[in-house]
Amino acid sequence: MTAQALLQIIAFTPKWVFALLAGLIALGFMQARRRKATLGRLMIAPVALSMLSLQGVIAGFGSNPMALALWPLAASAVTWLLLQRPAPAGTSYDPATRTFDIAGSWAPMALFLSIFIVKYAVGVSLAMNPALAQQMAFAMPVCLLNGAFSGLFIARGLRWFGMTRPDVMHGIARASSAGA
């Protein structure tokens, strides 16, 4: 790809895409600092970014049922795998105030930017060659990757929920290990 072609792609990119990138970077910086938050506030990013991921898969590959089936498969597998691991150190829940104390991490920034780059690259690729949506060699890794990204967010949200309701999560963990 030439520099001229790259500049043309950027020039035809809607302005809101760059605003979204700026918002994701700002959100990533906020995630890098230790903070206190309620469950509701913590759940905004996992829900929004999982829905954005699913919307991207549906918009890009909606007419390809095999590709669509890969998103929930990858999301479920990654969620299950991550929930088998112990919770990351540095996060605690105070039932009295119903708030979490969350250690800062750069991992969310890396994840936000990875999702953005994949979504942008897929959007450009499909705009330049719409037939790619029907090619499993293109659709499969994109749908699996988007599902895996969502699984990371879903597991994170479930882990936070589990800290507020250990009785519920203990039952889920028992059922999950019995099925394994």
pLDDT in tens, 57-111: 898 888 788 888 999 999 999 999 999 888 778 888 999 999 999 999 999 899 9
5 vs 149, more confident? 149
Residue partners of 124: CB distance under 8 A and separation at least 6 = 9
Q: What is the pLDDT of residue 64?
A: 83
Total of domains in the chain: 1
Q: Is 10 a member of any domain?
A: yes
Position 19 in a domain: yes
Structural domain includes residue 93: no
pLDDT at 172: 55
Task: Look at residue 72 and tell me if it is in a domain.
Answer: yes
Q: Is residue 168 part of a domain?
A: yes
Domain enclosing residue 135, as ranges? 3-86+104-179
Mean pLDDT over 145-171 rounds to: 86
